[in-house]
Structure 1
């Protein structure tokens, strides 16, 4: 690479160009719509460095091996916060802090589930988050529902003494994960209708696209802050297929189950925050992150150890430059995402007074496959800068997507609702729901090469956003009107 600027250096063997002009200020508003060549040169060098770096993989390997599964609110999640705090202190961040909050803790406990009629067969199941325990060993006939829409039509008390089973199709695979929402309805609200009908328990086909006997767990929705009073169990896709075939043969089915899952009272969780303090505008924050907790069936490598590693590694590579970017870069490792975005909501509440200074936010929480698309939702006057970022990361195989696409990631939802502009780097999610919330979410599913591509894209995007003059937020008067 040829450097046209005044200060050059080497980072991990890669030539990085830094301009002596980066400190210069200007009143020319046109500068907010373009990216200075020196900034692009440094971003390009960061990409080169990231593609050769193994830092992201080392971080997710450490998290999944040294901590393991990290159920929200558990002792393991506390160990993850301790791990993250030590990680931040060992890297180049200017500030490392833990921001605690209180949350209700749901524990999985034990589970037995099996088919007892027309014959005995063990089934592979898992309790869903918020499920109640069974008060005793339960055996009851099964009432079959083809879809979640079918169970919505039952009368109150119609399922007394029965176990409801909601079938449906395995989730449709797609690059964007678009099938998740429709498939997820039976997990989120099916229990409300089963319980209204008087069912002793609800069993559902797990929300996932795999054909393994690995059931997917996940959180149910509350009903006006009331949770299920019956056990709610997801069974694997092959087991759900088996029950369907028996139903189609008009076989009478009975299930036996015993579940020990239950709420355990309030506990302490927390968000871990890493800051690179901006050299010119330290109060303006570009926020990135992932969530530190995971479900407890696997080791949370793909969901979301990868996101923790990608965003932390990207910020660390920026931290190794000779100058901090103009704005502060903040990495937030959110706690208790899986059980209702509790860390995200706590962060938004704890930082409510400074949310107007959050100029851009995004999260990595869709696995570890390669990024293929950049989307955004910013002040239209700043779209030229996002477009410039898109051109900079084109060589990573990333296309520029919609410029009016709200999002940023699950943990960014409370920030976006408060008016914080967002961007999103979309990973290929075709196989994500084969692993998501299952015992199969383990480190061996992560490609170091794909992870490095993610780190490279985040490093370039975040550096340019933090170094540029762009006003990503809408003017205050416009925000007020909206």
Structure 2
């Protein structure tokens, strides 16, 4: 499953965050639709609302489709992924590391794979439900601070068209491999395992508490 949020801030066009990720999700869907009958698994695409005020769209999806979460082999988050040269961040799924590194070798595509977690994008509700998750994001070329995102300078001229092409190609090829991978090495975690990961890292635990406070505030005050 691949997804990105489509809500942005009204101070700019939101070309990087979120539109570049939306474009890559849609282009990946267009590419893979041509090969739908050849896939061993269904590849699902989603665009989320209200990410910026508390991950409300993706959270609602995980609650509404709770009975279907066991069937999600992997969720790849595409938030703002179209503006740079992307790598892969896995959200504390060590068993997937060699698989994605092998994908890079098979594809002769220069991306690195790291393990990390944060609470502030739409992978997080899936992570909290135990679904294997990761994101496409620049690691080696990461800029300091937020860059243009969430500023008045987040305009379409900041998104090079070749980067959208590269990101869409990478997402398509990864989705194809995950969908067709025999004996995928991980499955959905239990809630106990999720909590253990959060409690083992004080930074993750603090971010989770902050996210809960943000969500509670939004639900109490936004009508």
Same fold (TM over 0.5): yes
Q: Pick from 152, 155, 165 the counterpart of residue 442 of structure 1.
A: 155
Q: Distance in 2 between matches of 1:434 and 1:379?
A: 29
- In the TM superposition, residue 462 of structure 1 has moved relative to its aligned partner by 0.7
Conserved 8 A contact 2:49-2:56: yes
Report the CA distance shift for 1:442/1:470 in structure 2 as closer, same or farther (over 3 A).
Answer: farther
Q: Hey, what does 1:341 align to over in structure 2?
A: 55
Q: Distance in 2 between matches of 1:408 and 1:364?
A: 15
SS at structure 2 position matched to 1:433: coil
Report the CA distance shift for 1:469/1:336 in structure 2 as closer, same or farther (over 3 A).
Answer: same
Conserved 8 A contact 2:19-2:80: no
**Aligned residue pairs: how many?**
190
Structure 1, unaligned runs of 5 or more: 1-286
- In the TM superposition, residue 297 of structure 1 has moved relative to its aligned partner by 1.0
SS at structure 1 position matched to 2:136: strand
Conserved 8 A contact 2:128-2:191: no
Q: Pick from 126, 144, 147 the counterpart of residue 415 of structure 1.
A: 126
Instruction: Spell out the pairing of 1:173-322 with structure 2 (5 A cutoff).
Output: 287-321=1-35
Q: Pick from 425, 437, 458 the counterpart of residue 171 of structure 2.
A: 458
Structure 2, unaligned runs of 5 or more: 194-223
SS at structure 2 position matched to 1:290: strand
* 1:385 corresponds to 2:96: no
Q: Hey, what does 2:207 align to over in structure 1?
A: none
**Of Structure 1 and Structure 2, which has the larger fraction of its residues in strand?**
1
- In the TM superposition, residue 398 of structure 1 has moved relative to its aligned partner by 1.5
- In the TM superposition, residue 424 of structure 1 has moved relative to its aligned partner by 2.3
Report the CA distance shift for 1:460/1:439 in structure 2 as closer, same or farther (over 3 A).
Answer: same
Tell me the TM-score normalised to structure 1 length.
Answer: 0.37
Which structure is larger by alpha-carbon Rg, 1 or 2?
A: 1
- In the TM superposition, residue 296 of structure 1 has moved relative to its aligned partner by 0.6
Q: Distance in 2 between matches of 1:457 and 1:361?
A: 15
Q: Hey, what does 1:373 align to over in structure 2?
A: 87
Report the CA distance shift for 1:369/1:341 in structure 2 as closer, same or farther (over 3 A).
Answer: same
- In the TM superposition, residue 307 of structure 1 has moved relative to its aligned partner by 0.4
- In the TM superposition, residue 353 of structure 1 has moved relative to its aligned partner by 1.3
Report the CA distance shift for 1:409/1:470 in structure 2 as closer, same or farther (over 3 A).
Answer: farther
- In the TM superposition, residue 310 of structure 1 has moved relative to its aligned partner by 0.6
- In the TM superposition, residue 423 of structure 1 has moved relative to its aligned partner by 2.4
